[in-house]
Amino acid sequence: MSTTDSTAGTVVTVTGEVPPAALGAVLPHEHLLSDFAPPDDTAASRLRLYHAPLTMDLLGEIALGAPNRDNWLLGDEELATGEAAAFRAAGGGTLVDVTTAGLGRRPAALRRISAVTGLNIVMGSGGYHPARAGTGSGPAARTLTEEIVRDLTEGVDGVRAGIIGALAALDPGEPAERAALTAAARASAATGAAISVGRSADATTQRRVLDLLAAEGADLTRVAVGHCDALSPRPDDLEPLLERGVFVQFDRLGRLPSVHSASDDQDVATAVLELARRGHAERILLSQDVRTKAQLLAYGGGGYGFVLQQFVPYLRMLGADDALAETVTVRNPRRLLTLANGRTAA
């Protein structure tokens, strides 16, 4: 397996193809405009704060886990533009918006935000989970594959996607979820685009997911397995993933810890240094998975700048050198997003 950093090829952003060297520091798993609110017929919708507008006096309860529909809706383009501009000002070069069609993806708005801010934005494709697609059991793998390839090559109203996913943690034993994984793998094999997928809750299911992706033609070195933060206190548990060649993605950074937290940012920082010591520095990705209003600067959150403004300096304080900091924020996501020349040309 080669992890040689290369600036050859191209990266597909919402404003067109750019050379990999133009990406700068990258957040590989974020949401600028999205809708993660559960359906109104769920138990959450019957709780007291669910339908209330998100106001300052509610932020404390929201931080402790109270469900609120308005908090889960990132739909204000002007607000998103300001938050993206703040990330650009903090030193960010590229943000990967892995919002899929079933979660409120807005391609034209992402292109406008990129044009206004000068931030590179890479758009996701495919479906997060069959249950969010509104298609019941979900379309067949062949149809899904065609849809993803079309997003990557032709685009949505001319706005092309540059990555497949993010997909949820899917179970190959469920037919609709298996179809989604199969389609992602086949589209990746056809276009060279990377896949972003959530980490499975147990090692057996995770192994089956990666086996399926590989069997359907995906290159596992082009797969990012997200939400690995919970395993950061136990780096040995990440070794089975790393042995398969995938990127291990810590993408819950910047969240306030609570009694329900399985890990915190200090655990992730320690894990990053330990994995680097073991020779895995080139398979680590860092992001924040901003998906709620409470995480935005406008609502008192850390915005999209936490990794660059706080987490990387903390890594340095623990002993990380410049090479490691650049590897995990620039070189690794650049390799993930870079396509061989012409692989996805329309």
User: pLDDT tens digits for 177-194?
Assistant: 999 999 999 999 999 999
Topology of the domain covering 12-33+75-337: TIM Barrel (3.20.20)
Using 50, 70 and 90 to split pLDDT, how confident is the model at 345? very low
Residue spans per domain, the chain:
12-33+75-337, 44-74
In whole angstroms, give the CA distance from residue 127 to residue 122: 16
Predicted pLDDT of residue 174: 96
CB 265 within 8 A of CB 314: yes
Distance CA 196, CA 167 (A): 6
Q: For residue 120, what is the enclosing H or E element?
A: strand 120-125
| Mean pLDDT of the region 102-115 | 96
Close Cβ partners of 292 (under 8 Å, ≥ 6 residues apart): 36, 62, 71, 72, 74
Which band of pLDDT confidence, cut at 50, 70 and 90, is reported for residue 42?
A: confident
- Within 131-266, strands assigned E span 163-167, 195-198, 223-226, 247-250
pTM, two decimals, is 0.94
Matching residue, tokens 């559960």? 38
Which DSSP symbol is given to 138? -
Give the per-residue pLDDT at 172: 97
> Is 124 in contact with 163 (CB distance < 8 Å)?
yes
19 residue type, one letter: P
Tens of pLDDT, residues 215-240: 999 999 999 999 999 999 999 999 99
Q: How far apart (Å, rounded) are the C-alpha atoms in residues 31 and 109?
A: 12
Q: Token pair of 39, please?
A: 């359906």
DSSP-derived secondary structure letter, 254: T
